[in-house]
Amino acid sequence: MPLPLERDQIQQYSQELEVIIAAHLGWFKKLNAALLCGGQPAGAYLEADAYLRTPFGRWYYTAETHPMADYPGFQCLADIQKSMHDAARRALEWALAGNRPTQELHDAYLDPALRLNTKLRHLQLEIISDLLSTDPLTGCFTRRGMIGRLQSEQERSLRIQRPCCLCLMDFDHFKQVNDRCGHQAGDAVLRQGTKFTQGILRKYDSIFRYGGEEFLICLPSTPLEDAAQVIERIRAGLEALPISTPDSKSMRITASFGLVEMHPRKPVEDSIALADEAMLYAKHRGRNRVELGTPT
């Protein structure tokens, strides 16, 4: 899943990282000036807790769990940064004693400093990737990278011998909503409807904006019978959900669903096509219902 944040929050963290990277390079420049040019380092550079006093330290070591803590690229930063500061302090103490830092002391702070800069850049790219692959209206994944994500779930399903289900969801009579109430009302339907849907789904489930008012839901490690219960909860909940429109009124919306168990070996596109057939059948049978696709 993408970060559990709004799009503007994700953008904010990318901008914060840009500031942190610039501050890190500024720290590195001052350290080299002190070591190579004989400048007097700030006292904070020599303290055991120097790693906490930098802009990075104040940003990373927050009182609460950082929103980016789930990123693998975030978790490894602390050890690199602390080892860098410890090595920098040893090199400075050596230089202040009138000695020229050895190659070993130089490499001990230089290597983690360069590695930290690289890791921060990679983390920023991860966040930008989430930003680019997230639909700005609904917060769902876009189709960018969708097949790759589904193939990963398919491989995992085969590896752990647990089924993975796919469901196509299509909001009923959506064109009529746009035509009669305006596109802002249509946007409200998509935004509020998918927000409700995401609230039903588990953390490791995925929902993609497949196109227009169609959304693809992926339910890993879920047998078809259990998946059908989840999708029925979504269907019934959407039917009862009051949608707040921009003119301060309320409207109701329903959706039709086509649910299949992903084939463990056939292309994921085949399973999507089967879910699409089931969803169209739900439309044909009166809408606002869940239909199960039959494997071929």
- Which residue numbers are catalytic? 213
Q: d(Cα 121, Cα 128) in Å, to the nearest integer?
A: 10
Q: d(Cα 127, Cα 134) in Å, to the nearest integer?
A: 11
Residue 247, judged by CB atoms within 10 A of its CB (0-12, 13-18, 19+), counts as exposed
The secondary structure of the chain as a DSSP string is ---SS-HHHHHHHHHHHHHHHHHHHHHHHHHHHHHHS-PPPPGGGGSTTHHHHSHHHHHHS-SS--TTTTSHHHHTHHHHHHHHHHHHHHHHHHHHTTPPPPHHHHHHHHHHHHHHHHHHHHHHHHHHHHHHTB-TTT--B-STTHHHHHHHHHHHHHHHT---EEEEEEETTHHHHHHHH-HHHHHHHHHHHHHHHHHHS-TT-EEEEEETTEEEEEETT--HHHHHHHHHHHHHHHHHPPEEPTTS-EE---EEEEEEEPPSSS-HHHHHHHHHHHHHHHHHTTSS-EEEPPP-
Q: d(Cα 81, Cα 141) in Å, to the nearest integer?
A: 33
Phi, psi of 56 (to 5 degrees): -60, -45
